[in-house]
Amino acid sequence: MFISITETPIEAKELIERTRNENAGAIVTFQGTVRRFTGELEVESLVYDSYREMAEKTIRKICEEALEKFKVLDINVIHRVGKVALTEDSIVICVASAHRKDAFSACEFVIDTIKEKAPIWKMDITSQGKKQWRD
């Protein structure tokens, strides 16, 4: 298991290779990317902030729970903080398992639970330069 909060762009290929396992028949990867529109709001970029130590600890606990619950082999997560531009990844999650169903289920559980529990906050920077923290 590898968990990281980083200010640098995420290299998804490197995380996939870190997740590769000779016993895995599936590696499921989720890349959360910055999109232009959030509903009616046109976004230029996002800024993420976190309580880094607590966020890493929380994400680790979430991944440990997923490892047990879904019988997967490995889970690796990198979350970006700082300014993240359009089309860049804000989070990458890679899950390895013997079978795809477990990997998909675990990956969905991890991203949903991170969004719910991890102390990571998101600010929209609009095309007009307005800054707005998101709930």
Q: How many domains does the chain have?
A: 1
Strands (E), 16-98: 26-33, 37-38, 41-50, 74-80, 82-85, 89-97
How would you label 87-124 residue by residue, b for 16+ Cβ within 10 Å and e otherwise? ebbbbbbbbbbeeeebbbbbbbbbbebbeeebebebeb
Q: Is residue 10 situated within a structural domain?
A: yes
Domain range for 108: 2-31+51-119
- Return the pLDDT at 77: 98
Q: pLDDT tens-digit profile of 43-64?
A: 999 999 999 999 999 999 999 9
Q: Is residue 70 situated within a structural domain?
A: yes
Q: Is residue 46 situated within a structural domain?
A: no
Q: Taking the CA of residue 72 as centre, how many other CA atoms within 13 Å lie in the half-sphere pointing to its CB?
A: 31
Q: Is residue 37 situated within a structural domain?
A: no
| pLDDT cut 70: percent of the chain above it | 100
- Return the pLDDT at 58: 98
Decide if 114 contacts 62 (C-beta within 8 A).
Answer: yes
> For the chain, how many residues are written?
135
* Mean pLDDT calculated for residue range 96-115: 98
CATH number at residue 61: 3.90.1170.40
